[in-house]
Amino acid sequence: MPANKKIMIIEDEPFTLKMYSHLLTEEGFEVVATPNTKETARLAMANKPSLFIVDMMLQDGDGFDVIRELRKTAEFKNTPILVLSNLGQEMDIQEAKKIGADKYLVKSNVRFEEVIKTVKEMIK
């Protein structure tokens, strides 16, 4: 995987953030991570990621707002967004896709390998 492929993770659970940062780095990706929704726009503009991984339940906001903000920004209008969340209700999944998420994985239903595989497919 080319090293110039950057992934930005917006996730407030420290273990999950560390684990996915580590796994994706091992796969050759550059990872930018934040637990803070307020940092998302600034970090995204500074790093120009090839893909966003967004949790829906965050301490200082929610992933729906993060996705809406990213899709309003010309720079990220077409950047792939993968939702990785424990929010697994069908209406939440549909809403996330409607506002711009490309894929939605429920944390409790997927293995790490599947997430990594999905990331690779999304940023070929």
Domain membership flag for residue 88: yes
**Domain range for residue 64?**
24-44+55-122
State mean pLDDT over 90-110: 97
- Can you read off the two tokens belonging to residue 43? 């970090």
Q: Answer yes or no: is pLDDT of 124 > 90.
A: no
- HEC profile of the chain: CCCCCEEEEECCCHHHHHHHHHHHHHCCCEEEEECCHHHHHHHHHHHCCCEEEECCEECCEEHHHHHHHHHHCHHHCCCCEEEEECCCCHHHHHHHHHHCCCEEEEHHHCCHHHHHHHHHHHCC
User: What's the average model confidence in pLDDT over 79-83?
Assistant: 98
- Would the pLDDT of 108 be above 60? yes
Residue 4's pLDDT band (cuts 50, 70, 90): low
- Whether 13 is in a domain gets the answer no
What domain count does the chain have?
A: 1
Average pLDDT over residues 82-97: 96
Reference 36, options 66, 70, 72, 2; nearest CA is 66
Instruction: Establish if 91 belongs to a structural domain.
Output: yes
What is the CATH number for 60? 3.40.50.2300
The whole-model pTM stands at 0.95
Tens-place pLDDT, residues 7-64: 999 999 999 999 999 999 999 999 999 999 999 999 999 999 999 999 999 989 999 9
Q: Is residue 78 included in any domain, yes or no?
A: yes
111 in any annotated domain: yes
- Is there a domain that residue 83 lies in? yes
The confidence score (pLDDT) of residue 1 equals 44
